[in-house]
Structure 1
Amino acid sequence: MTRAKIKIKKIDNITARQVTFSKRRRGLFKKAEELSVLCDADVGLIVFSSTGKLFDYSSSSMNDIITKYNTHSPGMDKLDRPSLELQVVQKNIWMKGDDLQGLSLNELQQLEKKLESGLDRVLEIKEKQMMGQISELQKKVAETEMEAMLRKATMRFLMDSNMGMQEEGVSLESTNNVSSCISDPPVEDDSSDTSLKLGLPFSD
């Protein structure tokens, strides 16, 4: 039985898509390297991920390969001026610090200025995000401290209320005892009672 062909379509799950991209990209670059070594071919491979990240492989100089590509492209305009896409790719490669040997001193200085400007922008955004995180952290700390103070005040109030109720209970019990002593009449003891009888003496 022949296996049914699996239809190739976009992977919906983002995580699975990234894993598949990483595996397939490594396999593709490996095949490009094998093609270059086995067949003595100049191979240049450029891949952009779905997030815009650049991955490239070149058997020699990517700049030389792009120049060779431009010379083989039809039309004089393309011979004199590379396509916009290739210019973007080449600039991204330079920004990574790769394939700089063919640049002149002026081009290197311009690249340095762009990198410095980009670095300043990165540091500015980084500082803003750090300040935002610090502010958020301070807010959370303040909220936590406020909750702790409220919890402590509540516990103190409950303890004071409990002690007040206990003291009130003792005072009430003492008052009841005193009232009981006052209201109960004293018990007379017949054995200690002495009766005095007065009368006239008997006559003989």
Structure 2
Amino acid sequence: MVRGKTEMKLIENATSRQVTFSKRRNGLLKKAFELSVLCDAEVAVIVFSPRGKLYEFSSTSMEKTIDRYRRHAKSGINNNEVTQIVQLQQWKFEAASMSRKIESLEVSKRKLLGENLESCSAEELHEIEGKIEQSLCHVRGKKNQLLEEQIATLKEQEQTLMEENALLREKCKLQSQLRPAAAPEETVPCCQDGENMEVETELYIGWPGRGRTNCRSQG
């Protein structure tokens, strides 16, 4: 069973706090011992319980390790530099862990794309197939949802246009009903049959300023 992540805050219950202290203290001292053996490191751990009881571990001698620490501190390495070194090591560890996760995700991605399947067993291929089918169902569901939303939007636009068209028809109908009748066209009087029209024309012959012969003709 996978353990849940413990929230980092003070344990209110005194009994639970004491049990947790005992377990984690033993784990801390065990890790210190393993570090000193596996890496040939000089390790010293000092722990005071809530009641003031002392617990300690030293791979060599506690006094010797404390004296070494004091000499090392006097040599010029201050607490800020130690903190920076610890943070740098932590960042390196996190970067390496992130790199492994990215590599694992890349391998999984290539398998989902159908690449590098030679080393996969039948169970792994069955699991990959199930993941692909599940992803395909999600994609189709999302596509159908988008299509339904687009169809609903188009229907709303169609209804709006139909209403606007009906309003325009009503306006045109009202305007045609309120438009005044056209005024009768003015008629030009025509000559009745039997009426005579006389046209007089004058014609002058000669140079300007001199005597001219006037000829008049009647039609």
Global fold match (TM > 0.5)? no
**Higher strand proportion (structure 1 or 2):** 2
Calculate the TM-score normalised by the size of structure 1: 0.39
Calculate the TM-score normalised by the size of structure 2: 0.37
Higher RCO (CA-CA < 8 Å; seq separation 6+): 1
Larger Rg: 2
**Higher helix proportion (structure 1 or 2):** 1
